[in-house]
Amino acid sequence: MAFDYINDALETRRQQHLLRRRVLVEEVSAHSIRVAGKDYLNFASNDYLALGDLPLSGLDARSGAHSSPLVTGYQRCHQALEQRFCDLLGYQAAMLFPSGFSANISVLKALFAENNDGLIVQDKLNHASLIDGGLQANAAMQRFNHNNISHLKARLSKSKAKNKLVVSEGVFSMDGDCAPVADIHALCRAHDAWFMLDDAHGFGVLGNGLGTAYGETDTERARPDILVITFGKALASNGAVVLAPTPVIELLLQSNRDYIYSTAVSPMQCAVTDQRLTQLLDAHAERQQLAGNIAYFRERCAQASLALMDSQTPIQPLIVGDSESALQMQNDLREQGIWLSAIRPPTVAHNTARLRITLTAAHQKQDIDTLVKALESCR
């Protein structure tokens, strides 16, 4: 019978403790979540500043954009939001996308569509959207060891490609550590390469809200040639924006199939993102609260001899090892009113299954104490 392999494939994943399932969420905030009528402390949210809990003023924008951006879908609200990001982050041009995954994969494909003398060099732990985009691009792709500048230098030094692009995340979504953005930027300049940064988890949290590449002073900036910001994390919205020199955005308009043949982001979503951006830029107290929560959680875990990975961001992974044990700990924590996610292969490497703990500005010290006590009880 056709496709009779499907049930076998699902059963194999179940036996390996790798079967994924959706959970029906009844209510959710940056602090708590309700599933099947039970309330939990939520330590699985990417709404790091808890902006999703803030009200929005009256939205009278339309819910649909009517068509693709190159037909009648590109409207004043899109142009205004793109320009706002350009002014904020110092770029010539921008392009909105319905998701970060779409932005990453389509930019990498389109950037090399009209040239076959290219090399993409990616951090080994880059997001799946970046890896998929590199694999589908008309360019060779190599990967360098995670945050290893020496290995990246060797890759660039040996390459004879004319058009070299280095790609990294700002904050790595499963490890929580940050890329050495300034070092990568300097290395790219030394080797006539461009630098593309996906700052999904850094924007809003780091650099006084502007992201991983933005320090407190101009001398600390290492602005990438191409910057991708997704709206579904600290910005508490949906969609993404690509920022780049004007010729790059113009090229994407010619050959970016994902953008050309998709309906534009809705005017209503533009209005939501615009309001959330205003809230994010003013969220100094929330960033301070979040930083305090991160420091307190790491201090409490050290006291409890819980070995966290080296992360100073809201993403705090606790390595368990095998997938079965990670799932068991996840379930034990849920019995104690704690909601977080067990992350298993292939999302992470074999034997590095983990509990991915995310902190937000909505958490209080007593919430963190409850979490650490629960972690101690089920290790």
Bridge partners (DSSP) of residue 343 are 354
**Mean pLDDT within 273-291:** 97
- Let me know: does 338 contact 41? Beta carbons within 8 Å: yes
Note the Cα 225 to chain centre separation in Å: 18
Active site residues: 46, 127, 169, 173, 198, 201, 233
**Mean pLDDT within 141-146:** 97
Report the pLDDT value the prediction gives residue 317, as an integer from 0 to 100: 96
Q: pLDDT-derived band of residue 192, with 50, 70 and 90 as boundaries?
A: very high
- Let me know: does 78 contact 62? Beta carbons within 8 Å: no
In this structure, the strands spanning 193-198 and 163-169 are: parallel
Q: Residue 110 pLDDT > 60, yes or no?
A: yes
- Let me know: does 123 contact 197? Beta carbons within 8 Å: no
**Strands across the sheet with 338-339, in order?**
25-28, 32-35, 38-42, 338-339
pLDDT tens-digit readout, 77-108: 999 999 999 999 999 999 999 999 999 999 99
Report the pLDDT value the prediction gives residue 21, as an integer from 0 to 100: 86
Cα gap 262→246, rounded to integer Å? 21
Report the pLDDT value the prediction gives residue 61, as an integer from 0 to 100: 67
CATH superfamily of 18-49+284-378: Aspartate Aminotransferase, domain 1 (3.90.1150.10)
Give this prediction's pTM. Answer: 0.94
Classify the C-alpha dihedral 57-62-67-69 as positive or negative. negative
Q: Residue 60 pLDDT > 80, yes or no?
A: no
| Residue 56, amino acid | L
Q: CA of 1: how far to CAs of 6, 11, 12, 13, in Å?
A: 11, 17, 19, 21
**Mean pLDDT within 27-33:** 95
Report the pLDDT value the prediction gives residue 216, as an integer from 0 to 100: 57
pLDDT tens-digit readout, 316-358: 999 998 888 888 999 999 999 999 999 889 888 888 899 999 9
The residues spanned by each domain of the chain are 18-49+284-378, 69-281
Classify the C-alpha dihedral 73-232-49-367 as positive or negative. positive
Classify the C-alpha dihedral 328-371-297-124 as positive or negative. positive
Which CATH code is given to the segment(s) 69-281? 3.40.640.10
- Let me know: does 323 contact 354? Beta carbons within 8 Å: no
Backbone angles phi and psi of 100, in degrees to 5: -65, -35
pLDDT tens-digit readout, 210-225: 999 997 555 567 899 9
**Mean pLDDT within 39-60:** 91
Report the pLDDT value the prediction gives residue 218, as an integer from 0 to 100: 59
